[in-house]
Amino acid sequence: MDFGIKENIVAIVTTDKNMISTTTVPVFYANSEEQKEKTALLVSKITMGMVHDLENGSYVIVKH
């Protein structure tokens, strides 16, 4: 049995420049849809997280 924080948001990838980066979750800004898609893929591969679409121009990467 392994213990630890699960189901947490590890990063946000967004095209929405109004989103404010906080200290808890890093926010990656993207200029276009393609760039957002690519950044999300790269970050998810690094963190082994999963990309979820919030349908408001933002992706969240969640570790399950």
Partner 1 sequence: MEKFSMQIILALFMGLLARIYMIRIDQRQYPSYPQGLISHLTLGVIASSLGAVALPALIQKEYGAVTFLALAAQQFRDVRNMERQSLDNIEGTELVPRGTAYIEEIAKAFEARNYMVIITSLTTSIFFYLGKKINLHLYGQIVLGALTGMIMAAVLKKVLKRQLIMEIAEVKPAKIHFKGPLLMVNDVVIMNIGLKASRKIYEEVGIAVEIIPHDANGRETLASIGQRQAIAHNTAVQLGIRKDVDEPDFTPMLRRNPNNGHIVFSLIPMEPNIDLLVEAVKRTPVLETAKRKPLESKKGKSENNQLKGEL
- Residues of this chain that interact with partner 1 (CB under 8 A) are 37, 40-41, 44-45, 48-53, 55, 59-60, 64
By the 8 A CB rule, do 62 and 10 touch?
A: yes
Cβ-based nearer residue to partner 1, 7 or 24: 7
Cβ-based nearer residue to partner 1, 20 or 64: 64
Query: How many whole angstroms separate alpha carbon 24 and alpha carbon 22?
Result: 6
CB of 54 to partner 1, least distance (A): 8
Cβ-based nearer residue to partner 1, 1 or 20: 1
The shares of helix, strand and coil residues in the chain, as percent rounded to the nearest 5, are 25, 30, 45
